[in-house]
């Protein structure tokens, strides 16, 4: 049998590379000649004919619809950042000023391949230049960049992509954003575009570190979990998806820290509103519109505004010095303006619950009332564990007896425990503080 000589029959590597280069150059030349010679209308027809014969379907997802951002585009941008592979040649990295994490996103013209339940899908971020005529005093032509995703897949999977895959991306993107979200604290800023300015909220408070009795703490956690899973319920009963809480008790009992613990638990931004800074009822509505979904609006020390305490000061409880009326606040809480958003939580704090008008306290406005009490022994043990890393000590029994007789806030107890790194000395000083309070109370009585 005659054996073939493969080394003699196969062309050399240089010959192959030379032929490939020649073919590529020919194709480029042909395309250039075609663009110059063939009419644009014919090229457009051929392109459409090619698309018609292709088995692929392409969905265009633009960044915005006019001035309205496209939620699908934003979700895809977040989702595809997790699908970037080692073969991707270019990615974008951004470090926002007020965020702690780097933001990674897809660069233009980079194909990202994804698979979902047996489907193969191909994403490409594209850009196009859009020209429009300005209508300002300086007329002229302005240019802007329009970004859009091209999502390609076999056309027989059209319904599955629209009904299963794209909704899946919306859910996953929300989970990703919630996981890496940097919680922000917003305060009133009349120079801002929406009356709010923000900084990162780096408050370390969590429910685990909150020095309060377990029963109200567990009740609050369960209520929050139930609230964030009730979107369909609120829609079905025709109510705005919001929840109101009242935290009341003496100063230093942890009302502000509890708000921070809620924000860290839910990954909700906090909007801190002092009613004394608000100019009028219309500004109050503007501030509400400026808050985002999945946020906590905090109205601290609501009893410090005479206009909303009660109705004995004149019409709607307002006086000449009050800028906000009770009716304005009630409309702010549960009127039509309160429906401008979803997953909103409103927290009111006060040192004097008895001063508030009953209209504010009813369910639908302040749905859950939580009393922030003086430090109990169970709360003290949590503070001792946090500050001194102690679960038991010989002075605990003495401290328990004293706490049953005197009133000391968690802030006072924490402040005393922080004064000394030595646990024995810190607890001894705490006993002295509580004993002095006991003597003072006995003399006053």
pLDDT score recorded for residue 160: 95
Residue 134 and residue 140 in contact, taking contact as beta carbons nearer than 8 Å: yes
For the chain, give every domain's residue range: 52-133+141-180, 185-371, 377-444
Prediction pTM value: 0.64
Paired tokens of 267 = 């990954």
pLDDT score recorded for residue 6: 40
Residue 183 and residue 264 in contact, taking contact as beta carbons nearer than 8 Å: yes
Closest CA to 414 of 208, 206, 211: 211
Ranges of the chain with pLDDT below 70: 1-53, 96-101, 130-144, 192-194, 305-326, 335-341, 441-445
423-444 and 396-403 helices cross at what angle (nearest 10)? 30
Under DSSP, is residue 239 helix (H, G, I), strand (E, B) or coil? coil
Residues 374-391 have pLDDT tens digits of 999 999 999 999 999 999
DSSP state at residue 394: T
Q: Residues 335, 339, 340, 346: what is their CA dihedral angle, to the nearest 10 degrees? A: 80
Q: Give Cα separations from 194 to 135, 182, 285, 291, 292 (angstroms).
A: 24, 20, 11, 8, 11
Q: What is the CATH number of domain 185-371?
A: 3.40.50.300
Closest CA to 347 of 423, 268, 247: 247
91-130 burial string, b = 16+ CB within 10 Å, else e?
eeeeeeeeeeeeeeebeeebebebeeeeeebebbbeeeee
Residues 263-282 have pLDDT tens digits of 999 999 999 988 877 877 77
Strands 196-200 and 242-248: unpaired
The partner residues of 297 in beta bridges, in order of sequence, read 271, 346
DSSP string, 401-412: HHHTTS---HHH
């Amino acid at each position: 049998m005659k054996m073939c000589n493969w080394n003699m029959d196969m062309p050399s590597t240089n010959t192959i590379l030379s032929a490939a280069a020649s073919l590529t150059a020919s194709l480029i030349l042909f395309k250039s000649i075609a663009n110059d010679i063939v009419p644009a209308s014919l090229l457009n027809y051929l392109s459409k004919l090619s698309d018609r014969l292709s088995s692929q379907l392409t969905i265009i997802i633009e960044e915005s619809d006019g001035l309205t951002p496209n939620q699908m585009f934003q979700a895809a941008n977040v989702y595809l950042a997790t699908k970037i592979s080692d073969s991707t040649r270019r990615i974008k990295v951004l470090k926002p000023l007020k965020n702690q994490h780097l933001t990674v996103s897809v660069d233009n013209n980079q194909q990202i391949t994804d698979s979902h339940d047996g489907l193969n899908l191909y994403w490409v971020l594209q850009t196009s230049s859009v020209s429009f005529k300005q209508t300002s005093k300086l007329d002229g032509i302005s240019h802007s960049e329009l970004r859009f995703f091209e999502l390609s897949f076999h056309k027989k999977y059209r319904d599955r992509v629209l009904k299963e895959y794209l909704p899946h991306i919306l859910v996953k993107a929300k989970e990703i954003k919630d996981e890496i979200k940097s919680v922000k604290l917003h305060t009133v800023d009349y120079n801002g575009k929406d009356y709010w300015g923000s900084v990162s909220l780096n408050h370390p408070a969590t429910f685990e570190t909150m020095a309060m009795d377990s029963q109200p703490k567990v009740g609050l956690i369960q209520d929050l979990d139930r609230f964030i899973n009730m979107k369909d319920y609120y829609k079905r009963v025709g109510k705005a998806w919001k929840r109101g809480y009242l935290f009341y008790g003496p100063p230093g009992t942890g009302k502000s820290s509890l708000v921070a613990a809620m924000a860290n638990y839910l990954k909700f931004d906090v909007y801190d509103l002092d009613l004394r800074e608000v100019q009028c009822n219309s500004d109050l509505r503007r501030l509400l519109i400026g808050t985002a979904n999945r946020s906590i609006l905090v109205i601290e020390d609501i009893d410090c505004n005479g206009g909303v305490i009660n109705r004995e000061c004149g019409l709607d409880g307002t006086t000449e010095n009050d800028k906000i009326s009770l009716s304005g606040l009630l409309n702010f809480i549960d009127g039509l303006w309160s429906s401008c958003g979803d997953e909103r939580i409103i927290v009111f704090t006060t040192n004097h619950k008895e001063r508030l008008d009953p209209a504010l306290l009813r369910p639908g406005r302040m749905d859950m009332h939580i009393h922030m009490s003086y430090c109990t022994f169970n709360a003290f043990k949590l503070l001792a564990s946090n500050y001194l890393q102690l679960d038991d000590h010989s002075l605990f029994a003495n401290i328990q007896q004293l706490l049953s007789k005197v009133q000391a806030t968690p802030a006072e107890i924490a402040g005393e425990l922080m004064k000394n790194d030595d646990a024995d000395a810190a607890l001894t000083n705490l006993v002295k503080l509580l004993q002095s309070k006991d003597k003072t109370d006995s003399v006053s009585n």
